[in-house]
Amino acid sequence: MEEITFLKRKAVEIRMDLLTMIYNARTGHTGGSLSNTDILTVLYYKIMNIDPSNPNWDERDRYVQSKGHSVESLWAILADKGFFPKEELKTFSQFGSRLIGHPNNKVPGIEMNTGALGHGLPISVGMALAAKMDGKSYKVYTLMGDGEQAEGSVWEGAMAAAQYKLDNLIAIIDRNKLQITGSTEDVMALEPLPDKWRSFGWEVIEVDGHDVEQLVEVISHTPKVEGKPTMVIANTVKGKGISFAENVGAWHHHVPTKEEYDLAMDELSKQLEVLV
């Protein structure tokens, strides 16, 4: 339980950091970064085999954030893990900064520039296939948005992963059910999403994307089936952690006002207080 409490506290701290980054920069993708924070916290602080002092280590696990626009949580985590100085977070989205609004592989810990949706899974397929061909044991993790599932390249990557039996590939969908123009089911209906992925030859598990204990249990035990890539559909809440932002589509890229920022930080501080 001590480890789970640590992960829960860390997720709240990361939410505070990313909100501060967005507030100070006056730009960012707030809702999606808040919804993916628990997923990334579990990956970086529990699951993945990485070394911040040696970010190009051959045996490292790879992470590709296909949902590149929700990068703020990732920047906050990489800084906290020591891939670059935490002070650099203050430069987010400023002129000349490495910490731009999408993953940038000039920053240690970033494998690929991403942001054009639909690219992350095909890239991850290539990485996982390379590991198989080279006899390497590392795993490849990729995070996609649910609105991103409308991209055709996602499904090309899905077919290739099954064809090559890439059981070292674990894809995660941040299923918060909202995209920039509205509900995913109104814009481009996805359901039955689990059945679609199963029909493409993937092993599919659905989880509560904010239940840290469940995320650890599921992702720690992948692959579920030898010879099959794993899809984790993480049901999440856009804007998670800030009561007045949760499930509000406008918070996709809303920058908080001073009053909203203060209220949000107060809520998050109170969440930390109970996690002892």
Q: What is the pLDDT of residue 107?
A: 98
Please give the angle made by the CA atoms of 264, 5 and 8, to the nearest 5 degrees. 35
Across residues 167-174, what is the average pLDDT?
98
What is the side-by-side strand order in the sheet with 169-175? 62-65, 140-145, 169-175, 230-235, 203-208
Residue range 180-239, pLDDT digits in tens: 899 999 999 999 999 999 999 999 999 999 999 999 999 999 998 999 999 999 999 999
CA 148 → CA 171, 176, 178, 230, distances in Å?
A: 13, 12, 11, 18
Residue range 7-31, pLDDT digits in tens: 999 999 999 999 999 999 999 999 9
Across residues 48-75, what is the average pLDDT?
98
What's the domain count of the chain?
1
Residue 114, Ramachandran bin (φ over 0: left; ψ between -120 and 50: alpha; else beta)? beta
Range of the domain at 107: 2-274
pLDDT over 90, % of the chain: 97
pLDDT at 270 over 90: yes
Look up the CATH number of the domain holding residue 62.
3.40.50.970
Asked whether 171 and 199 are in contact (CB, 8 A), the reply is no
pLDDT over 70, % of the chain: 100
Question: Tokens 């080279």, residue?
Answer: 134
Question: Tokens 């969440």, residue?
Answer: 271
Q: What is the pLDDT of residue 103?
A: 97
Residue 188, token pair as written in the block? 């481009």
Q: What is the pLDDT of residue 276?
A: 81
Q: What is the pLDDT of residue 260?
A: 98
